[in-house]
Amino acid sequence: MTADSVQTDTIDPRQALGALRAEIGKAVVGQDPAVTGLVVALLCGGHVLLEGAPGVAKTLLVRALSTALDLETKRIQFTPDLMPGDVTGSLVYDARTAEFSFQPGPVFTNLLIADEINRTPPKTQASLLEAMEERQVTVDGKPRPLPEPFLVAATQNPLEYEGTYPLPEAQLDRFLLKLVLPLPDRDQEFQVLSRHAGGFDPRDLAAAGVRPVAGPADLAAARAAIARLTVSPEVLAYIVDLCRATRQSPSLAFGASPRGATALLNTSRAWAWLAGRDYVSPDDVKALALPTLRHRVRLRAEAEMEGVTADSVIQAVLAQTPAPR
């Protein structure tokens, strides 16, 4: 950690990670659910898909998080001409030694910002699959491990689909959470303008006062604590019933897979730990059901034409599935 970092070995990891909200709030107004979702993803070792209109601080949010966590961050602007090697790295010929050497790509970092991931062709999108799932990159038959922790925070614009390549289900399923960032309300937008009028520069987070309040050691301690949380058979059965109910919904072409059920279990445990409990309750499951499952289901065409959304289907499933007491 840097010289300005706190001594996290003397601070409770829950307290350190809980301080992230206030620290990120120095740069980002509102978006508390997205901040919490990113922390949950880090605690679970998962990846996040951020969806929102241009200008709602998707990239700024991730940059502020990485600064507050003292993590290395790199950014890729995905474009139609981006090649897989531009993401993972490639072999480069060294004329001095007459040999090829590996030049690491931007994926070799702790927190990778994949801006507008749906603007690059499937071949380049697929280059992230191994990195996201296996935490390694294979070039010329040799696997190369990625740093730990490693998280991909990908953004996409839901308003403009011309010239985009929708993410296939296999890649969507690699994202632990899909977080939707709404437009700010009037008071929040006023705060944004007031900050800019006062000299706030989103490119200079240090000037905004954002500093590291946690680090990799806190994440490791938190993950160990989360692994010790108690999950009752009744709560496990509730998660199973929710995911099975999505598969039976007439509005969906397919519902959440067993991987989705496992993801919901993991995110619920992280949420319970952040709340200060050593067990998972049905309310924890309900709180994380939307961001964990909304991208793992597919609407039927006729339901989509009638204005049904994945969120509304999951909310209906939550309302109809009995929760354990």
Is 247 found in the same domain as 140?
no
Coil, helix or strand for 75? Answer: strand
Mean pLDDT of the chain: 88
Residue pLDDT, tens place only, 179-231:
999 888 999 999 999 999 988 888 888 888 889 988 888 888 999 999 999 89
Would you say residue 277 lies in a domain? Answer: yes
The predicted pLDDT at position 5 comes to 44
Q: Is 297 exposed, middle or buried (0-12, 13-18, 19+ CB in 10 A)?
A: buried
**Do the Cβ atoms of 155 and 59 come closer than 8 Å?**
yes
Report the alpha-carbon distance of residue 192 to residue 248 in Å, rounded: 44
Size of the chain, expressed as the number of residues it contains: 325
Radius of gyration over alpha carbons of the chain, in Å?
20
Is 95 found in the same domain as 59?
yes
The predicted pLDDT at position 2 comes to 44
The predicted pLDDT at position 167 comes to 83
Would you say residue 1 lies in a domain? Answer: no
Is 149 found in the same domain as 251?
no
Q: Which of 293, 209, 291 is nearest to 39 (CA)?
A: 291
* Token output for 178: 């899909």
pLDDT cut 70: percent of the chain above it? 95
**Do the Cβ atoms of 169 and 178 come closer than 8 Å?**
no
Q: How far apart are the first and last CA of the chain?
A: 44
Is 100 found in the same domain as 46?
yes
Is 195 found in the same domain as 83?
yes
Would you say residue 194 lies in a domain? Answer: yes
Is 143 found in the same domain as 278?
no
Q: Is 234 a residue whose pLDDT tops 90?
A: yes
Q: Which residues contact 107 (CB under 8 A, 6 or more apart)?
A: 74, 87, 88, 89, 128, 131, 137, 146
Q: Is 43 a residue whose pLDDT tops 70?
A: yes
More confident of the two residues 281 and 96: 281
> Would you place residue 24 in the very low, low, confident or very high pLDDT band (cuts 50, 70, 90)?
confident
**Do the Cβ atoms of 309 and 290 come closer than 8 Å?**
no
What is each CA distance from 83 to 18, 103, 141, 173, 269, in whole angstroms?
Answer: 38, 15, 18, 22, 37
Is 126 found in the same domain as 54?
yes
Q: Specify the number of domains making up the chain.
A: 2
> Would you place residue 4 in the very low, low, confident or very high pLDDT band (cuts 50, 70, 90)?
very low
Q: Domain containing 300: what range?
A: 229-324
Is 259 found in the same domain as 183?
no
Residue pLDDT, tens place only, 131-184:
888 898 888 788 899 998 899 999 988 766 666 778 878 788 889 999 999 888
Report the alpha-carbon distance of residue 164 to residue 154 in Å, rounded: 14
Is 175 found in the same domain as 258?
no
